Structure formats: C-alpha cells, structure tokens
C-alpha cells in the first residue's frame, strides 16, 4: 500500500484523468498478493500431503512386520511340502510300485492351493492414492516399487496355482 500511496500523492488531485501508474501499481499488488496466497496454499497442501504419506508409511511398516511374522509360521509347512515332493520324486524315479499308498498320503497337499500374497490393505490403499511417486527418499521409493512388483508376481503365481489346481490336479484326483 505504501507504493500505491506514493503514486497517489504524486498524482495531481485537480486533474482526475486516467493515471496509468496508479492502475499498473494496483494490478501489480493484486497479482503479487494472489501469487503469494497461491504459494502459501501450495506449501500447506504439500505439507499436509507429506504428513499423510508419513502416517501411511508408519502403518505400512506395521503391516509388513505383521506379514513377516505371519509368513514365518508358513516356512515350516512349505519346507515339509518340499521334502514330501522330493520323496515323491525319489519314489517315482525308482519306480517303487509298492509305495502307492505312501504316495497318496504324501501328495495330499496337492489338493490345496497356497496363497503367496500377503494381506496388505494399507499398502494397496497407499498405491491407489498414487502416493508412491511422491515419496522424497529415493531408496525407500525404490524398495516400495520392488515390493509392489513382488506382490504382482505373487498374484500371478497364485493365479497360475489356482488354474493348475483346477485344470490339472482336480481332474486326476
């Protein structure tokens, strides 16, 4: 306003004609005010968004820790399946026909499909809101992209297992 007042004072009060300096000063001040307000709004919006991203990241960390504990419980059963499958291969390789009953007992697990994809609703919500590109830490962003790719691969493998179970295993049981 100080600029506007100086221009106004220099203006001859007796001559009320069109004053270009005054109009340009007012336009400049209004434009500057709008730009400052927009900058403050953008800064505030980004700050709120980063706070929300950080809250999501804490929840995702908790979700991942829970899934790690959950996956540790499945390690032993998967190792047992691997050992059973090795035994089946050994029996079939040696053509031991008297072991058919053992094969039926060992191969019971092929009637079920294992789900490899963890339960991650918070991470999926984070991805759906398109927050991943907005993470400022490059290594964290890259790790989450890798995790996302791993989840996509797990879903592909789950789909393959379900189709194999439906099309290959079930018809022969």
Contact by Cβ (8 Å): 49, 132: no
Q: In the predicted model, what is the mean pLDDT of the chain?
A: 82
Residue 130 has φ and ψ, to the nearest 5°, of 60, 45
163: three-class secondary structure by DSSP: helix
Per-residue pLDDT band for 132 (boundaries 50, 70, 90) equals very high
Contact by Cβ (8 Å): 167, 113: no
What are the domain boundaries of the chain?
Answer: 17-172
- Residue 59 pLDDT > 90, yes or no? yes
Q: What is the DSSP letter of 94?
A: T
Distance CA(151)–CA(145), nearest Å, equals 10
Contact by Cβ (8 Å): 60, 123: yes
Report, as an integer, the average pLDDT of 76-97.
Answer: 81
Two tokens, residue 77: 């059963």
Report, as an integer, the average pLDDT of 132-150.
Answer: 92
pLDDT at 169: 67
Two tokens, residue 48: 């709120």
Q: At what angle do helices 121-128 and 138-164 cross, to 10 degrees?
A: 120
- Higher-pLDDT residue of 124, 97: 124
Per-residue pLDDT band for 113 (boundaries 50, 70, 90) equals low
Instruction: Give this prediction's pTM.
Output: 0.63
């Amino acid at each position: 306003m100080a600029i506007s007042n100086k221009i106004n004072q220099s203006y001859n009060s007796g001559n009320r004609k069109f004053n270009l300096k005054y109009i340009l000063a007012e336009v400049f001040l209004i434009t500057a005010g709008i730009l400052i307000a927009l900058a403050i709004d953008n800064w505030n919006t980004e700050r709120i968004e980063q706070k929300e991203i950080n809250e999501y990241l804490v929840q995702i960390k908790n979700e991942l820790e829970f899934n790690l504990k959950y996956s540790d419980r499945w390690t032993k059963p998967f190792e047992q399946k691997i050992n059973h499958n090795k035994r089946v291969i050994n029996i079939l390789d040696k053509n031991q026909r008297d072991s058919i009953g053992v094969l039926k007992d060992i191969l019971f697990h092929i009637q079920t499909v294992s789900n490899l994809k963890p339960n991650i609703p918070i991470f999926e919500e984070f991805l759906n809101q398109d927050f991943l590109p907005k993470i400022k830490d490059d290594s964290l962003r890259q790790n989450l992209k890798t995790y996302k790719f791993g989840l996509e691969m797990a879903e592909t493998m789950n789909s393959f297992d379900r189709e194999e179970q439906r099309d290959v295993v079930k018809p022969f049981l």
